[in-house]
Amino acid sequence: MATQLNGPTAREIISNGEAVLGIEFGSTNIKASLIGPGHQQLASGSHAWENQYENRNWTYSREAIVAGLQDSMAQVLADAQERHGVRPTQLGAVGISAMMHGYLAFDADRELLVPFRTWRNTSTAKAAAMLSEELDFNIPQRWSVAHYFQALLNGEEHVSKVSRLNTLAGFVHELLTGNFVLGVGDAAGMFPIDSATGSYDARMLSAFDAVAARHGATAGLSSMLPAALPAGADAGTLSEAGALL
C-alpha cells in the first residue's frame, strides 16, 4: 500500500526517481536509507559486520565491503517493494559516508596493495609525531597521511607502488561512479585542508614531500589524494559498472 506524504505518495516519489539513497559504513553496521524530499524514510536496510585483526592490523576485506554494500542495498529494494509496491530504478542522489581516516592504498591499476587499515589502528605514533613537528600542525595517528608515512618509515615494500590513497567512503564512491573525489570533510581526515582554498594545504604538502623524500619517497603526495569537493559540487553519477555492482 502506498504511504501518503505531503504531496506525492511514496510510491510516486520512488517511481519518479526522486528518492535519495544514503549508505553509511559504520564500525559494526552498514546502514542504508531511502528518503523522500521531506526527509521521510521510505525504505531501509542494514548489514552487520565486524573488523578482523590480521597481520597486526584491524581491517575489513574488500570482499566484505562489497558484500555489505550489496546486502544493505538488496534490503532497501525489498523493503521498498514490501512497503510501497515498487522498487527504485532511478535515484535523485546517492550519498556514502563511512568511518573517516584509515589507509586504503592502490597501485596505478587501482588494485589494493595492502588490506584496508582502519582508524582503529594505533601503529602510527612515530609518523604522527614526526609529521606534527614537520608540518607544525597536529596530525593524529588515524589520519591517512600518518598511515602512509609510517609505511614509508617501516620500509614496506608496497609504498613504492602507491598511486592513490583513499578513505572507505571515497573507495565506495569510486566503485559506484568511477570518480576519485571526496567531500572536503572526509578529505580533512586524510591531510590538512586550507580553509581559504577549500583544498589540501599547499605549504604543508610541500613540507610533507620534503620530509617524505628524505625517507625514500619519489612521488608527490598531492598526486595520490582524491580531489576535495565542497558541498553541492558535482561528484559524478552512478556508472553502469556501479549500478551492476
Q: Which domains does the chain have, with CATH numbers?
A: 1-98 (3.30.420.40), 100-165+181-245 (3.30.420.40)
Asked if residues 18 and 37 have their Cβ atoms less than 8 Å apart, the reply is yes
**Segment 12-66, tens digit of pLDDT:** 999 999 999 999 999 999 999 999 998 999 999 999 999 999 888 899 999 999 9
pTM: 0.92
- Per-residue model confidence (pLDDT) at position 176: 97
**Segment 133-172, tens digit of pLDDT:** 999 999 999 999 999 999 999 999 999 999 999 999 999 9
Q: Which residues fall within 8 angstroms of residue 88, CB to CB, at 6 or more apart?
A: 14, 17, 19, 21, 34, 77, 80
Share of the chain above pLDDT 90, in %: 89
- Per-residue model confidence (pLDDT) at position 47: 98
**Segment 66-107, tens digit of pLDDT:** 999 999 999 999 999 999 999 999 999 999 999 878 899 999
Residue 1 has pLDDT above 60, yes or no: no
* DSSP line for 173-241: HHHHH---EEEHHHHTTTS-EETTTTEE-HHHHHHHHHHHHTTT--S-GGGGSPEEE-TTS------HH
Give residue 238's identity as a one-letter amino acid code: L
Residue 5 has pLDDT above 50, yes or no: no
Residue 2 has pLDDT above 80, yes or no: no
